């Protein structure tokens, strides 16, 4: 018997993914209304202030992104070897994420940031918390939870980066922001791959939804608002030194 489109769209995995997407939409709405995102897309913002906000967001990315990669590999290594197709797909996906922190650093320097300071500084407490959440999920929880936190990160990025990119184009800042401009299409593809892995995983075993959702919810508790608030506060101080 062939599976019809309507049967596919109501599979347990699809229903679960739709629930995650509803939560994601609420987080995206909150992110859009944050001072950080609003200042980037507000046509009345001064280009200098947008540059300050942007480079501080990029500095946060540089702090946490390598740990997200490290934690993802740790989770992949702990997945049951019966999940070979998930392991292969996740490994390929993470390989494509490896240089994003360096891409963010390059853009940070292009916006006037110091590479030496970026490499030598401690992460902000907010980025440290994000990174620690990934590490703890990957090493102490059911490793399939990485599908949840990675889907949250990629889907958030794929929805917000094009809006930010458009705002940067308006200010002629897009040429120096490859991190936001280049990976948008790739992030969209990544989020679709992760979503389909979630659907397939839950369709194969309905009990997998709980750890995946836990990973998703933990990430939504620490990102993006606290991390962006730290970046915005530094940008505000830079714009009013002393
Ligand atoms: Fe990505």
Distance 44 CA to ligand 1 centre (A): 30
pLDDT at 184: 65
First to last CA, the chain: 72
- Every domain of the chain and the residues it spans: 28-239
- Distances from the Cα of 87 to the Cα of 5, 72, 91, 145, angstroms: 27, 11, 6, 13
Distance 1 CA to ligand 1 centre (A): 37
Q: How many residues does the chain have?
A: 242
pLDDT at 171: 78
Which are the contacts of 197, defined by CB distance < 8 A and separation ≥ 6? 86, 89, 90, 147
Which are the contacts of 68, defined by CB distance < 8 A and separation ≥ 6? 97, 130, 131, 134, 150, 153
pLDDT at 167: 81
- Report the interhelical angle of 125-140 vs 145-170 (nearest 10°): 150
pLDDT at 168: 81
28-239: CATH number: 1.20.910.10
What is the residue-level pLDDT of the chain in tens, covering all 242 positions?
Answer: 455 555 555 899 999 999 999 999 999 999 999 999 999 988 888 888 998 999 999 999 999 999 999 999 999 999 999 999 999 999 999 999 999 899 999 999 998 899 999 999 999 999 999 999 999 999 999 999 999 999 999 999 999 988 888 888 887 776 666 777 665 677 889 999 999 999 999 999 999 999 999 999 999 999 999 999 999 999 999 887 66
Distance 91 CA to ligand 1 centre (A): 12
Distance 3 CA to ligand 1 centre (A): 31
Give the 3-state secondary structure percentages of the chain, helix then strand then coil, rounded to 5: 80, 0, 20
Distance 79 CA to ligand 1 centre (A): 21
pLDDT at 1: 45
Tell me if 143 sits within 8 A of 76, measured CB to CB: yes
């Amino acid at each position: 018997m062939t599976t019809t489109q309507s049967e596919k769209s109501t599979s347990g995995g699809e229903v679960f993914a739709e629930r995650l997407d509803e939560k994601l939409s609420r987080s995206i709405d909150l992110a859009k209304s944050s001072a950080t995102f609003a200042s980037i897309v507000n046509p009345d913002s001064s280009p200098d202030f947008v540059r300050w906000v942007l480079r501080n967001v990029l500095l946060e990315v540089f702090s946490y992104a390598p740990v997200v990669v490290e934690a993802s590999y740790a989770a992949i290594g702990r997945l049951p070897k019966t999940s070979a197709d998930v392991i292969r797909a996740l490994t390929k996906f993470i390989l494509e994420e490896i240089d994003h922190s360096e891409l963010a650093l390059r853009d940070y320097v292009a916006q006037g940031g110091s590479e030496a300071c970026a490499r030598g500084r401690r992460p902000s407490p907010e980025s440290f918390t994000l990174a620690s959440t990934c590490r703890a999920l990957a090493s102490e929880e059911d490793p399939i939870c990485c599908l949840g936190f990675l889907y949250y990160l990629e889907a958030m990025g794929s929805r917000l980066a094009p809006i930010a990119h458009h705002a940067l184009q308006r200010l002629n800042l897009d040429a120096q922001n490859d991190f936001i401009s280049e990976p948008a299409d790739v992030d969209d593809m990544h989020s679709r791959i992760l979503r389909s892995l979630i659907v397939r995983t839950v369709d194969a075993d309905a009990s997998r939804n709980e750890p995946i959702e836990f990973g998703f919810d933990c990430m939504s508790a620490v990102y993006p608002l606290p991390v962006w608030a730290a970046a915005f506060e530094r940008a505000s101080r830079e714009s009013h030194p002393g």
